Amino acid sequence: MILKPKHLFFIFLSFILWLPAGLFGQVSVSDVSYNALELRNIGPAFNGGRIADIDIHPDDESVWYVAVGSGNVWKTVNAGTTWDPIFDNQGSYSIGSITIDPNNPNTIWVGTGEDIGGRHVGYGDGIYKSTDGGRSWSNMGLENSEHLSTIIVHPENSDVVWVAAEGPLWSSGGQRGLYKTTDGGATWENKLSVNEWTGVTDILIDPRNPDVLYAATWQRHRTVAAYMGGGPGTGIHKSTDGGETWTELKRGLPSSNMGKIGLAISPQNPDIVYAAIELDRRTGGVYMSADRGESWRKMSDAVSGGTGPHYYQELYASPHNFGQIILVSNYTLISDDHGANFRFINNTNKHVDDHAIAFKESDPDYIMIGSDGGIYQSFDFMETWDFISNMPLMQYYKLSVDDAKPFYNVYGGTQDNGSNGGPSRTDSDGIRNRDFFKILGADGHDSATEPGNPNIVYGEFQQGALHRVDRITGESVFIQPQPAEGEGHERFNWDAPIEVSPHSPTRIYFASYRVWRTDDRGNSWTPVSGDLTRNQERITLPIMGKQQSWDNPWDISAMSTYNTITSLAESPLQEGLIYAGTDDGLLQVTEDGGENWRRIELGEIRGLPSMPFVNDIKADLFDPNTVYVALDNHKYGDYKPYIIKSTDRGESWELISEDLPERHLVWRVVQDHVKPELMFAATEFGVFFTVDGGEEWIQLKGGAPTISFRDITIQREHEDLVAASFGRGFFILDDYSPLREVSEETLNEDGVLFPTRDAFWYVPRNEVDSQGDDQYVADNPPFGAVFTYYLKESHLTQEQERQRRERELEADEDVPFPGWDALDAEIAEEAPYIMITIKDEGYSVVNRVKGPAREGFHRVNWELRHANKGLIDPETTDADDGFSNSFPAAPGTYYASMSLVKDGEVQELSEEISFDVVPLREGALDRKPDEVREDFMENLIAFQRDLSAVSNRLEDAQERIGAMRAALLRADNEDPELMERLNNTRMRLLEFDKAMNGSDAKGQIGEKEPPTPRSRMFVGFRALGTTYGPTATHERTLEAGISELEAIRRELDDYLSSEMPALERALEAASAPPIDN
């Protein structure tokens, strides 16, 4: 029978009615906000990251905007004293250019996608505009340009903007050329298009005539195997009609293939135009035109060096000195004669590899340079340098963690800032630059630590230059395996993989085109494989769509070695089961420690590209047959994420990354060591987790900007997820263990208090003070015990509920008046909140912590202190003051429970959890037993209460005497003797006050005086400010204070009990008005 639509409807309706009613209120894993699980940035900022562009506010030279090559956009309003990242939540982190609108400095244009041809460059998603100084942004298009290098705003018409779009680096096509808008970015037209491999890399505007423009085009293509940085599409072009039409300039310029070109125009004489031109084989020259580009002459052979001209080549003409030009490079060049002669700038105490320069109009001696190492400024025109050391912009490729006590260290290799390490947290006010240390120079890459021995660290710089570092001596030993006699060059990847065997802490696997093994920490090596790559001749592989002539502009120096092993993994469950992945689409597996290898063609797996790059391999921690591989095809222009899984050692595969967003290529994966299905992925734009083995992926957005995370790992003892970003330093998700509990069942409970890790017991240090506002300090985790809880629903106040209902009304609907009683109820209501109750081993309540009652995940911390048990003053205390802290709690086992407090009712929401408070370390001296601390604390609290009680009684009596004197002045009868008696009483009470609190006169000038009960109380407080506990002096001082107070109390009681009633009777006899009691 064929079912008609109406029959299908009734069947569907019957099915819906049959389902449990509660199903429609179900919360899924992806419905929940996990932002409370924040990734904590630990820096560092002792070196910076690559700076792409700088612009200084034209009217306020203390306002700077900085485009960071792979670290978003930053702004300072106080000349670098403090900074704000202002582009963190946009679609790209890679920035190529930034421009302030000269007509309206609140309008900022940002071009995404860095303007270099480097092997590690990120890609953008178009051009952005802000009209409020960077507080908010709009993407204005050119989403497929990927790399925007220059933006120029018309000096008289802000609606007209020209943009240099270099276009995709890894593929042809996209949006490349010179784009122009005449409507403020609403629409764009490509005014200068050459071919599918050529874009525009630089633009100039004649300051006298905005219709006169110059543009440099650049043909380039990079693949996994090779780089070609020039071609017939490269050239210099000129427009005289505002960019509508263009003419290529040729007279006097090279006829061979040109590469990257940097342009500059003389501010003093705009007829003069300069061009720094890359030529074949990294040669080049600086050219000058004195007739607005009509003809050119070569001034010198100067060209950017280092990594290659593709990485630099920006040219700047001084606004202060005619004929002075600066060509940025690894060692930047300066000329005072239009480029005829160059010299190196002073690089003493300054990082090399410069990319951006900014001048101040008001100060010819000032210059700012952005380099691979961050920002430097000079006030004496480069004689000396000041480093801006408060921007955490480090570009990490890889990371590792050790098991140091009490806090582990994080190590990583960086782009051009070497390899370094630093603590995951400190016992002071935060993590400072001085807490980090450098272990290797150059470009840092993979790193590793020896389990059980945090003094042995492995690091490398480019091309597999492996070193073993002794943390005690600081020495680094070069341990790279070397080819034997008669063997050829050992091909190492730019970022060669290091794998410490899970079966022996001194055994390391390292890889070139073959796998090497050492069992003695790198002192000697044995190859355990032959060539596991395709071993191709890369010059024969296609680039720019075809095989190229030898005479074309190859630049292999700018490349990693090709046909290399890029990732290694050994199964922790089966010794000798090793996987090796390559940069040319192969995965190799051995089950016998390298005797035999089985080759897997990744391109033959359904759903994968033909030649994927193996970014990461992880052998499963629970099943020796299961393995995960993260693959990367972005160097062929494909930015899709690829993670594959095999449960039979590579015989068959499934794709588990289909739920990840497009363009989020995957760098690394890691598996939880407790729950097999919990995994994490580091992608080009964030960190993701899955609780079901890859069916569904969820981004961890809390605390993290849009940034590339190139590596992640787990520090198992602390249960921290540690991530290395490429442009914003290290991040740590402290105690990710609550994610193990995430399931639809858990998330559909009303509330859950998750287990928490043990809390460290110590007194935070305060070692450095008052160093100025420009000091960089990264956050430690919140002190004490951190509680993670989840609420299925928000618990709203009556006012919030009403406002929610009103927001749901249609725009033209009336908003009903709730009524006066309802509004009064709203005013009277206290907002609901979550209460975490902490109890000790004896089940006595130690303290309570307050948290928000909103849906989703939350984190609050208990600072390991008792609630304040001092005497409560009802005149100065309200309900919120009940959440308080006083003296530190002792180490031991504690219990925590979670309740919802709403409308005065307390509702238990979750099962109780237990945790331990453990000493961070033992001091030089044995600390006092916990029971001594507790007894002293109880005595001190009792003394504090008694002191407060006596003080309150004395204060009340003093207030009463004041009221009596006022009453006597209003009495019907005169009584001079009573007036004198009241004054005598006032003076006597002041004597009691002096005995308790000290002399007011001495206090005014700081004169010392004998101890008082109050001063002895403060000495007692100091006894509990350390982990050591009270000394004998503290105990004697407290006893003295108690004794002194008791004597004062007895004398005050006797005095007041006799004197005050007599004074009351005398006032009544004088017919004084009554005093309110």
CATH code assigned at 866: 2.60.40.4070
Residue where a domain stops, chosen among 874, 891, 919: 919
Nearest to 786 by CA among 41, 34, 32, 37: 37
Residue 1062 lies in a domain: yes
pLDDT band at 263 (very low <50, low <70, confident <90, very high): very high
Kindly report the average pLDDT of the chain as a whole number: 95
Question: Rounded mean pLDDT of 120-128?
Answer: 98
What span, in angstroms and rounded, lies between the C-alpha atoms of 82 and 146?
A: 30
Report helix, strand or coil for 971.
coil
The answer to whether position 722 is within a domain reads no
Instruction: Using DSSP bridges, classify how beta strands 759-761 and 913-919 pair: parallel, antiparallel or unpaired.
Output: parallel
In this prediction, residues 22-38 reach a mean pLDDT of 85
Measured CA to CA, the distance from residue 751 to residue 177 in angstroms comes to: 56
**Which residue, 540, 546, 512, 514, is CA-closest to 528?**
514
Q: Are residues 288 and 433 in the same domain?
A: no
**Which segment of 3-7, 377-381, 869-873, 966-970 scores lowest on mean pLDDT?**
3-7
Residues 6+ apart with CB under 8 A from 328: 304, 312, 313, 314, 315, 316, 354, 355, 356, 357, 369
Identify the domain boundary among 189, 214, 249. Answer: 249
- Summarised one tens digit per residue, pLDDT across range 153-191 is 999 999 999 999 999 999 999 999 999 999 999 999 999
Residues 6+ apart with CB under 8 A from 239: 191, 192, 211, 212, 213, 214, 215, 245, 246, 247
Calpha distance 101→155 (Å, rounded): 8
Cβ 165 vs Cβ 200: under 8 Å:
yes
Residues 910 and 946 in one domain: no
Q: Are residues 935 and 1065 in the same domain?
A: yes
Query: Which CATH number do you get for residue 184?
Result: 2.130.10.10
Which of 163, 159, 155, 230 shows the shortest CA–CA distance to 192? 163
> SS3 of 760, please?
strand
Residue 24 has pLDDT above 90, yes or no: no
How many domains does the chain fold into?
5
In whole angstroms, give the CA distance from residue 672 to residue 680: 8
Q: Which residue type occupies 447? A: S
Contacts of 610 by beta carbon, 8 Å cutoff, 6+ apart: 585, 603
| 217 lies in the same domain as 306 | no
Query: Among 451, 485, 500, where does a domain finish?
Result: 500
Q: Residue 691 and residue 683: Cα distance in Å, rounded? A: 17
Give CA 298 to chain center in angstroms: 47
Whether residue 79 lies inside any domain: the answer is no
Shared-domain flag, residues 963 and 908? no
- Which pLDDT belongs to residue 876? 72
Do 334 and 446 fall within a single domain?
A: no
User: Burial code of 121-151, b = ≥16 C-beta within 10 A, e = fewer?
Assistant: bbbbbbbbbbbebbeebebbbbbebbbbbbb
pLDDT band at 22; cut points 50, 70, 90: very low
pLDDT greater than 60 at residue 758 = yes
Question: pLDDT at position 8, please?
Answer: 41
Full domain range(s) for residue 264? 251-344
Are residues 975 and 846 part of one domain?
Answer: no
Looking at the fold, whether 1013 and 1060 belong to one and the same domain comes out as yes
Strands 565-570, 578-582: pairing is: antiparallel
Check whether 21 has a pLDDT greater than 60.
Answer: no
- Residue 983 phi, psi dihedral angles, 5° rounding: -65, -40
Q: At 80, list the tokens.
A: 């670098």
Distance CA 308, CA 689 (A): 38
Q: What is the pLDDT of residues 646-680, one digit of tens each?
A: 999 999 999 999 999 999 999 999 999 999 999 99
Q: Is the pLDDT of residue 25 over 80?
A: no
Band the pLDDT of 879: cuts 50, 70, 90: low
Give the distance from CA 1018 to its chain's centroid: 41
Looking only at the bridges linking them, the beta strands covering 64-68 and 72-76 are: antiparallel
Confidence (pTM): 0.95
Q: Tell me the C-alpha distance between 391 and 375, whole Å.
A: 9
Structure tokens at 89: 């939540």
| SS3 (DSSP) at 504 | coil
Domain membership flag for residue 35: no
* Sequence-distant (≥ 6) Cβ neighbours of residue 894 within 8 angstroms: 785, 838, 839, 840, 841, 846, 914, 915, 916, 917
912 and 790, same structural domain?
A: yes
| 549 DSSP assignment | -
Question: Residue 9: what pLDDT?
Answer: 43
Considering the domain architecture, whether residues 239 and 99 belong to the same structural domain is answered as yes
What's the pLDDT at 3? 39
| pLDDT the model gives residue 6 | 41
Q: What is the pLDDT of residues 201-227, one digit of tens each?
A: 999 999 999 999 999 999 999 999 999
**Is residue 876 located within the same domain as residue 843?**
yes
The reply to whether 766 falls in a domain is: no
Is residue 187 a part of any domain in this protein? yes
Q: Is residue 473 within 8 Å of residue 454, measured between CB atoms?
A: no
Do 94 and 215 lie in one domain? The reply is yes
Q: Residues of the chain with pLDDT > 70: what percent? A: 98
The yes-or-no verdict on residue 1 having pLDDT over 70 is no
> Beta-carbon neighbour count of residue 226 at 10 Å?
20
